[in-house]
Amino acid sequence: MLEENLKKVQEEIEESCRKAGRDPKDVTLIAVSKTKPAEDIMELYRAGQRDFGENYVQELREKAEELPKDIRWHMIGHLQRNKVKYIAGYIDMIHSVDSLALAETISKEAAKHDRVIPILLEVNVAGEDTKFGLSPEEVPAMAEAISHLPNVVLRGFMTSAPFVDDPEENRVHFRKLAHLSVDSTSKNHDNNMVDVLSMGMSNDYKVAVEEGATMVRVGTSIFGARDYTNHG
Ligand SMILES: *Cc1c(COP(=O)(O)O)cnc(C)c1O
């Protein structure tokens, strides 16, 4: 069942790549498993899926301990500084960095594990009041500041577009993030190798791929609707 959903999403990504003249190998599908049980993750794991996204530190910790070690875990939810230490040893990428203070904490905790953690800056491209993330104007100074931190590497940008009925409405936001990325690459700070664009969710990932997404974060279309009863 979940395997079929996964296949369908993979096919849609390939189709969007064809439309845009892109290589499907350049798009990583992150299966967003928040609130979903370990059995569901294992079903997809057996089908070959290795990249999973989680929003809550406690839940991520429990799953990472229990599940196979070659799973690549992506932290995509809002992250509090005092919780970074719980994931610093194994997290593969943190998509939701929205302040220098948080990036500094990640660098400090990564150093304790003798590693460098790849991070993305979360950008609120649509300027929604309810969303976390930097404004596009804040990005250049932040990218510069991060380039001086020894144990993080800025790999790119992430956004969550508004929830809309017609995903075409989000094309303009994805395009804006892609432009921001091109601008940052041309600046080329030492400690930054900006090539990741994390954008597109169940509702709009096809449009995001057409606009250059290199990571899409898909939950509902793979796992089905979420039940938040036991989550904050
Ligand atoms: C939950 C979540 C997703 C997945 O959303 P779906 O609509 O279920 O695909 C993607 N990105 C972030 C940041 C999320 O919190």
The end-to-end CA distance of the chain, in Å, is 28
Mutational test site, ligand 1, from 29, 201, 223, 231, max ligand atoms within 8 Å of CB: 201
Ligand 1 centroid to 179 CA: how many Å? 23
pLDDT at 189 over 70: no
As a whole number of angstroms, the distance between CA 15 and CA 8 comes to 10
Mutational test site, ligand 1, from 2, 13, 54, 76, max ligand atoms within 8 Å of CB: 76
Q: Sign of the CA dihedral 187, 137, 157, 206?
A: negative
pLDDT at 52 over 90: yes
Mean confidence (pLDDT) of the chain = 95
What 182-187 contacts at long range (C-beta under 8 Å, 24+ apart), as own/partner pairs, is 183/140, 184/139, 184/140, 184/143, 184/157, 187/140, 187/143, 187/144
Place of tokens 């005092």: 82
Q: pTM for the full model? A: 0.96
pLDDT at 186 over 90: no
Alpha helices in 89-217 (DSSP H): 100-112, 139-146, 171-187, 205-210
Split at pLDDT 50, 70, 90, the class of 129 is confident
Mutational test site, ligand 1, from 217, 218, 221, max ligand atoms within 8 Å of CB: 217
As a whole number of angstroms, the distance between CA 232 and CA 225 comes to 17
Residue 202 CA: nearest ligand 1 atom is 9
In contact, 53 and 217? CB cutoff 8 Å? yes
In contact, 49 and 72? CB cutoff 8 Å? no
Percent over 90 (pLDDT), the chain: 89
The average pLDDT across 93-117 equals 98
Residue 221 CA: nearest ligand 1 atom is 9
pLDDT at 232 over 60: no
The average pLDDT across 44-54 equals 98
The average pLDDT across 84-98 equals 98
The average pLDDT across 169-182 equals 95
Ligand 1 centroid to 203 CA: how many Å? 9
Residue nearest to atom 10 of ligand 1 (CA): 217
Ligand 1 centroid to 217 CA: how many Å? 6
Whether residue 159 has its Cβ less than 6 Å from ligand 1: no
DSSP state of 162: P
According to DSSP, the β-strands at 72-75 and 51-54 are: parallel
Helix (H, G, I), strand (E, B) or coil at 161: coil
pLDDT at 208 over 70: yes
The average pLDDT across 78-84 equals 97
State residue 192's pLDDT score.
65
Ligand 1 centroid to 218 CA: how many Å? 6
Could you tell me which residues come within 8 angstroms of residue 152 by beta carbon, excluding any fewer than 6 positions away? Answer: 103, 106, 107, 110, 116, 117, 118, 119, 146, 191
